[in-house]
Amino acid sequence: MVVIRLSRGGARNRPFFNVVVADSRNRRDGRFIERVGFYNPVATEGTSDALRIAHDRVEFWVSKGAQASDAVQKLIKRSAKAQASGATAA
Question: Which residues fall within 8 angstroms of residue 64, CB to CB, at 6 or more apart?
Answer: 2
Mean local confidence (pLDDT), 61-74: 95
pLDDT tens-place string over residues 44-66: 766 667 899 999 999 999 999 99
Stronger pLDDT, 45 or 23, i.e. the higher one: 23
Task: Give, in order, the Cα–Cα distances in Å from 19 to each of 2, 13, 29, 49, 65.
Answer: 13, 19, 11, 14, 17
CATH classification of the domain holding 69: 3.30.1320.10
Q: Is the pLDDT of residue 38 over 90?
A: yes
pLDDT for res 47: 66
If one counts the domains in the chain, the total is: 1
Confidence (pTM): 0.86
Whole-Å CA distances, 65 to 6, 62, 68: 18, 5, 10
Mean pLDDT of the residues in the chain: 90
pLDDT score recorded for residue 88: 62
Domain interval for residue 56: 2-89
Average pLDDT over residues 5-16: 93
Residue 81 has pLDDT above 60, yes or no: yes
